[in-house]
Amino acid sequence: MKLPEQLPTDPDEIERLYNEYAQAVDDFDEAELQRLMDARLAVWGIDPHQLTPDQLFGAMAESMNSMLMSLYAAKDDAPDSTAVEQVDEIIKMAEELRKQIDSAMHSATEKSPDESPPDVSP
């Protein structure tokens, strides 16, 4: 799938384009995907080349939420009980991963007492 030279700036439109591109596995180009991902982040107000820790964690959380929504939709569309069970297992793993990421984010943003700025008072 060939992406347009000028990518959309409307969040809904870029999300639609992203979903179309993600499904075009036979015509996949890593550089095009990166360009699309950069544009997606920019629409969310994130400069992909100058991420703050909060922006990075927010993007990761948004990505996990989007993945889980897709998994829940896949479960609803599963053709049989075996497929439902398989998707349920993947959902459990994704939810566990989300918990681990959340825990890591909180740990990374907490400052221990020895990391506080030095006292420079006279």
- Cα separation, 68 vs 122, in Å, equals 54
Number of folded domains that form the chain: 2
6 Ramachandran zone, left/alpha/beta (phi>0; psi -120 to 50): beta
Asked whether residue 83 is domain-assigned, the answer is yes
Could you report the per-residue pLDDT of 71-109, keeping only the tens digit for each? 999 999 999 999 999 999 999 999 999 898 888 878 877
Could you report the per-residue pLDDT of 48-70, keeping only the tens digit for each? 788 888 778 877 888 888 889 99
* Segments in the chain forming alpha helices (H): 11-23, 30-43, 53-76, 81-109
Asked whether residue 115 is domain-assigned, the answer is no
Which whole number is the average pLDDT over 9-20? 89
Domain extent for 92: 51-110
Q: Answer whether 64's CB lies under 8 Å from 98's CB.
A: yes
Same domain, 13 and 23: yes
Same domain, 77 and 41: no
R_g of the chain computed on alpha carbons = 19
Tell me the one-letter amino acid at 65. N
Same domain, 90 and 58: yes
Same domain, 27 and 55: no
